[in-house]
Chains A and B, each alone.
Chain A
């Protein structure tokens, strides 16, 4: 819960967090080492200096760490944990459904753990979707189209094998598809960050919600165009958020574009924990205003308190069917526990 200076309570549902193990013991090869190093570079590069972690903690943090950073020190009421398996790079997987659920069991009222699958696994992917629904009752998944799988170095959301999986998701009520666009490797003739496939998939699966993480940056213009056309495409702010600190004017330009094109009801906050922690992001976001000259170029759009509240939690709560008033009451009865040290 974030409390404003006027005493208003803002419900915070962090749409994008991880519980990973990137430690050297779990790395299967050089790609695993380079993957966590890349994350660490994002962390060191875009965090305020007083928020920096040591490498070893960053590689593998504890159940207590995540709980404290999100809910005790951090303003989150709830958090969505995204699964990122990367089985070609990590022996036991990077961010696993099983391990995350084990962790979330301690505070089930605060976590939503999303699954993940790889359409290139064919029939096995379909079986796995059934397994995730039956075992963990997932309501969302995270798709990483740049993930490697044997000889394949990437895939597209509108591949026929992917469509079979999404049909099943639709049938089972797995409504929320988070999409991470990373650089695909082959074929080289393709724009590696292209978001065109989102357009096809969103048109063909109207019942599903497509949340494009880091709002399609670095193809924000293409993404905005698609999100304007498709009513079921949303912008996730993971990775865009930390620019609020290092380049506040630039953050204002991105927000102005999103508010103008995509609209205040379709933007979702995400800290991308543990790359960044939600406390400083939300503190700065609540204090932030889009500079007047940038706002003027986009019809005067501004981040009002009402709009911030939607972005920080209400929009995601709608997608995940959470009754915010009931949830607030539930959490008030089970306040955050601070582990004895």
Chain B
């Protein structure tokens, strides 16, 4: 039997891995969004992850992508023998659960529900939006630090890495922006331009303002979803009750456990 401490440690490892799964539409980790409901490691080193989306009606294609993302991240841990992913309370939940746990390939499952088409195009569309949003944060951060348009558009990857940002959002998005640049092959060497467009084009200094306007409209859309989803997730998760054995790890991570001092009021 796994000792309780080891079990907790392994579960924490899973939680950390799950930070690598994002909601494609929001470009936020599903753990930050509070979507992950439970992580359990059994004696046989089987991992069960349960998640729930803000509403019963959230787009099933994104639900599929997140479910497969969870599976991918969990299986990447060397000690995991088996992974089971469970999507709760969703209009397409049965099909998602069956698909992700069937052991069949991602593409095969999708072909069935896509009239033979592939999901790549949707994935690509949302990756482009994620790129825009991350880039906007970094660009606005540079502007706030007093960098001129010509300086920004000519900035190399090496120079960007040396900039000392202090804003919380810039510090959070910069590594995510760099990851995406690298993953997409848009910039990898220190002398490469740090701010190409998603299509790989250079931005001229006089075009920077127009470029930022475009990025802003992408963000406005994503924020609408983000604000709505966070709020709805919060409202929906209110139903979740803390079990008879007291709060578990997940309850602390999800912020469901009230601080000790606040539990009692004078009334």
Contacts and interface: CB of A to CB of B under 8 A. Distances in A.
Interface of B is mostly: helix
A191 B129 CA distance: 13
A41 interface: yes
Contacts of A253: 216, 220
Nearest to A43: B235
A121 B187 CA distance: 52
Contact of B61 (A37, A188, A224): A188
Interface stretch (B151-159, B188-196, B225-233): B225-233
Nearest to A217: B224
Contact of A257 (B57, B61, B217): B217
Interface in B54-90: 54-62, 64, 89
A35 B89 CA distance: 12
Interface string A253-278: 11001000000000000000000000
B114 A34 contact: no
A220 B224 contact: yes
A250 interface: yes
A259 to B, nearest CB: 13
A297 B227 CA distance: 22
Given A34-B57, A189-B61, A189-B115, A217 B235 contact: no
Contacts of A191: 122, 125
Nearest to B58: A183
Which of A31, A224, A250 has the most chain B CB atoms closer than 10 A to its own CB? A250
Contacts of B91: 31, 34, 185
A147 to B, nearest CB: 11
B236 interface: yes
B43 interface: no
A322 interface: no
B121 interface: yes
B55 A188 contact: no
A258 to B, nearest CB: 10
Nearest to B112: A188
Contact of B221 (A183, A185, A192, A219): A219
A45 B234 contact: yes
Nearest to A294: B216
Contact of A221 (B61, B122, B221): B221
Contacts of B169: none
Nearest to A44: B235
B235 A41 contact: yes
Given A188-B114, A189-B121, A192-B59, A220 B234 contact: no
Nearest to A33: B56
Nearest to A42: B232
B122 A243 contact: no
Contacts of B220: 220-221, 250, 253-254, 257
A335 B222 CA distance: 44
Nearest to B26: A218
Bin chain A's interface residue count. Answer: 35 or more
Contacts of A250: 220, 223-224, 227
A254 B58 CA distance: 22
Contacts of B231: 45-46, 246
A183 B60 CA distance: 8
Contacts of B55: 34, 38, 41
Interface string A199-242: 00000000000000000011111001000000000000000000
A230 to B, nearest CB: 18
A136 to B, nearest CB: 29
B56 A185 contact: no
Interface in A268-320: 297
A321 interface: no
Given A45-B234, A297-B213, A189 B222 contact: no
B115 A187 contact: yes
Which of A34, A188, A189 has the most chain B CB atoms closer than 10 A to its own CB? A188
A190 interface: yes
A247 interface: yes
Contacts of B232: 38, 41-42, 45
A220 B221 contact: yes
Interface in B207-225: 213, 216-218, 220-225
Contacts of A190: 61, 122
Contacts of A218: 25, 221-222, 224-225
Contact of A38 (B56, B118, B224): B56
A217 B59 CA distance: 14
B119 interface: yes
**Pairs A-B, 6 closest by C-beta atoms:** A34-B56, A45-B231, A189-B114, A188-B61, A192-B59, A189-B117
Interface of A: 31, 34-35, 37-38, 41-42, 44-46, 146, 182-183, 185-193, 217-221, 224, 243, 246-247, 250, 253-254, 257, 297
Given A218-B222, A250-B224, 13 more contacts: A31-B91, A34-B89, A38-B57, A38-B232, A185-B91, A187-B117, A189-B117, A189-B121, A191-B125, A217-B221, A218-B225, A254-B220, A257-B217
27 contacts: A34-B56, A34-B89, A34-B91, A38-B55, A38-B57, A41-B55, A41-B235, A42-B232, A46-B231, A182-B57, A183-B60, A185-B91, A187-B117, A188-B110, A189-B110, A189-B117, A189-B118, A189-B119, A189-B122, A191-B122, A217-B224, A218-B225, A221-B220, A250-B227, A253-B216, A254-B224, A297-B216
